Chain A
């Protein structure tokens, strides 16, 4: 699955959280953006 997280810069996921998630599920296709429209356009 692909997971696209769109958050305002002040509320985005920390690098520590991102790294922890990727260490737990390295197969995850994980993308981060600040633009909700961009997030919705990133279909696999």
Chain B
């Protein structure tokens, strides 16, 4: 799996590995105040066409904790699909960065970016899906209530991108 764009693209085993690694790294940081530099020298490009607080900060902080770095790219700077063709942005970022995360309304734009990128593309929210939020929710549920299998998740709110991603993730864990 090169990219993380939709929960539905991932197997249960892949999602389980995400959670296990995240829990291990969180525990390591809480216990020692540092993480192993698993991403030393790696650069994450972060394209945010929509406002973000938690997602943006969590990506930037995670890169810092793991020994890498993140560069923030706003829509007015990149002009993804407007000033610059998506294909060209993908080529440039693939040449200088190691991964890219993108928040945009248009899900197809993320798919096109992934199509032309050599580096992994991570969906940081589209109108269709918010897979990173869903995984964070499942991690929190598991930390507080134990293994996911057999659990009931009640989502009270809009039937939106977060609900869709979380529902799909719950289905994957069976």
Total contacts A to B, CB within 8 angstroms? 84
Nearest chain B CB to A38 CB, angstrom units? 9
**Are A1 and B163 in touch, CB under 8 angstroms?**
no
Residue of A nearest to B158 (CB): A11
Shortest CB distance A34–B (Å): 10
- B152-174 CB contacts (< 8 Å) to partner A: 152-160, 163-164, 166-168, 170-174
Interface of B is mostly: mixed
Query: Across the two chains, which residue of chain B brings its CB closest to A38?
Result: B154
How many residues belonging to A are interface residues under a CB distance threshold of 8 Å?
25
A30 contacts B167, C-beta separation under 8 Å: yes
Report A17-44 CB contacts with B as 1/0, cut-off 8 Å.
1000100111110100000100110111
CA distance A36 to B157 in the complex (A): 9
In the complex, what residues of A have CB within 8 A of residue B154's CB? 4, 6, 36, 39-40, 42
A21 contacts across to B, CB distance below 8 A = 164, 167-168, 171
Cβ of A30: which chain B residues have Cβ within 8 Å of it?
167, 171
B171 closest partner in A (C-beta) = A25
